[in-house]
Structure 1
């Protein structure tokens, strides 16, 4: 079951709210002879999370089907990059599981002991059964917090987004059944308004379709930080007047700090691992953007919303990348 984006956390007597965790959504099938982990897109994640499959096999009876979020904690905060490294770890995955174990934060029960499907039961009853089932489970298998108290929701949004790394709140009806593939839940993402430097565009300079954005690190290097959603017709026309091709470099320098096409690894999109062709522009235009809080290792993991150009700001007014963010990129190639 999926969640539709909303602009505000909904309120109502029949609604409950849960943190929107910064991890990978996964369904766990406890089969008679083992455990099968499946991503939201249907991908087999089993071999990447031996620590989770071991915990589910030890604590959960055969026939049970669970729904939740795979998370890796680092210093008390969700670390999405550690999840991604599981996929490319190869033989080192067992070492990674020992050194930086994953957790499975659970929020729904789709089939009970013996394989009894309970999708048609209301959420309140599915939740009660989930809590009983995991009462004695190890800490790696945790039931997600849930509340109807809007004051607690406000605390999550104000404090947990930074301290814990949640992305927002998911709201659900207590009486709702589980409908696979339907957006019957609501999700509110915590967002912020900030600035970034336009370093490239998809499409063309005269008709930009989306922006490739960056920020300077402390050494004065422009680092790629993310990509925007498609621009509106009016935004394209206004930006085209401000964009220009990179200036001719001085001797021994490069015309632009990013490779073209943009390496697939920079996008962080494992479902579309292809280099991205784009048009390099002179990095002198400051963009005001609306972004969610999933900013990790110097990049926005989700696309940002372009709001407007800020000709009143210099590129040196844009916030710098600091600390460990600078070590994430490496040199192209």
Structure 2
């Protein structure tokens, strides 16, 4: 927990109080939350004081687990919420209470339009529900959209890809990395494994537009700081993916789910692909 947030908590809540919440950073220029600003704190080093001053973090508080040493886990949500509201009545803006409603239409409005503010979805809790550690009886619903992307690399092998690295072309025609797919099920691995060997990278000067090993910041693998090795492929396979609304600085923050192969750019494919294309088209 950042020191500035800890100081605010200590000066606002009585000793022995435990709350559940999430750290966020607000990008004033974009009028939305920014995960990138939180990441910058991790790598700020000596610039951390300046980062704290320019981009303060907020702890959005969801729930109350303990108050003045007394456990609140077995209380119903409605009672925990009432106590939490009282505790945060005079809290600073950096310790906001997460909005909650029993109005279905308002909740749907949050779900539909929250993505503009960087909010990924809603969580549904029962008013009579207790706080069960390790077994939260809640329904977390993220807003998802379908989108198209280009396969730029694979992790695993060309004949048996474990997952895909995806990109999109910018206005200058350069392939920009935009995200990574979740591990592929067997059927999708087999389908792509028939296409990828003949789509291996054969670009000019044998140089792919991405680094040979992707930096951790590109893939969001902050729990594994080493670069990610992959096999580059020609950007000729267009796929449809399911993504949540966590899109920042030209990339999806969370892994994507592959829905289907959308198209194959025949003009850029290796000549040997014609037979494979016909076979794949017949099976889709």
Q: TM-score, normalised by structure 2?
A: 0.88
8 Å CA contact retained: 2:146, 2:243: yes
- For 1:289 and 1:312, locate their aligned partners in 2 and report how far apart those are by CA, in whole Å: 15
8 Å CA contact retained: 2:145, 2:244: yes
State the shift of 1:165 in Å: 1.1
Alignment of 1:106-185 (within 5 A): 106-113=61-68, 115-162=69-116, 164-185=117-138
- Equivalent residue for 1:188, pick from 137, 141, 160: 141
- For 1:161 and 1:313, locate their aligned partners in 2 and report how far apart those are by CA, in whole Å: 32
Q: Does 1:263 align with 2:218?
A: no
- Equivalent residue for 2:261, pick from 285, 309, 318: 309
- Equivalent residue for 2:41, pick from 73, 77, 86: 86
Alpha-carbon distance change, 183 to 313 in structure 1, aligned in 2, over 3 angstroms = farther
Alignment of 1:281-296 (within 5 A): 281-296=233-248
8 Å CA contact retained: 2:200, 2:232: yes
Alignment of 1:206-245 (within 5 A): 206-243=159-196, 244-245=199-200
Q: Which segments of structure 1 move beyond 6 Å, counting only runs of 4 or more?
A: 312-315
- How large is the RMSD of aligned CA atoms in angstroms? 1.7
- For 1:305 and 1:90, locate their aligned partners in 2 and report how far apart those are by CA, in whole Å: 35
Structure having the higher Rg: 2
State the shift of 1:313 in Å: 7.0
8 Å CA contact retained: 1:50, 1:94: no
Unaligned runs of 5+ in 2: 268-284
Larger fraction in helix: 2
Instruction: Describe the SS at the equivalent of 2:242.
Output: strand
- For 1:202 and 1:103, locate their aligned partners in 2 and report how far apart those are by CA, in whole Å: 36
- For 1:174 and 1:157, locate their aligned partners in 2 and report how far apart those are by CA, in whole Å: 19
Alpha-carbon distance change, 108 to 239 in structure 1, aligned in 2, over 3 angstroms = same
More displaced 10-residue stretch of structure 1: 268-277 or 305-314: 305-314
8 Å CA contact retained: 1:196, 1:214: yes
Alpha-carbon distance change, 312 to 153 in structure 1, aligned in 2, over 3 angstroms = farther
Instruction: Describe the SS at the equivalent of 1:272.
Output: coil
Which deviations, in whole Å up to 9, do the C-alpha atoms of 1:103-124 show, x marking residues without a partner? 11111111112x1111111111
Q: TM-score, normalised by structure 1?
A: 0.75
- For 1:161 and 1:181, locate their aligned partners in 2 and report how far apart those are by CA, in whole Å: 27
Higher relative contact order (CA 8 A, sep 6+): 1
- For 1:313 and 1:247, locate their aligned partners in 2 and report how far apart those are by CA, in whole Å: 15
8 Å CA contact retained: 2:236, 2:264: no
State the shift of 1:255 in Å: 2.6
8 Å CA contact retained: 1:213, 1:227: yes
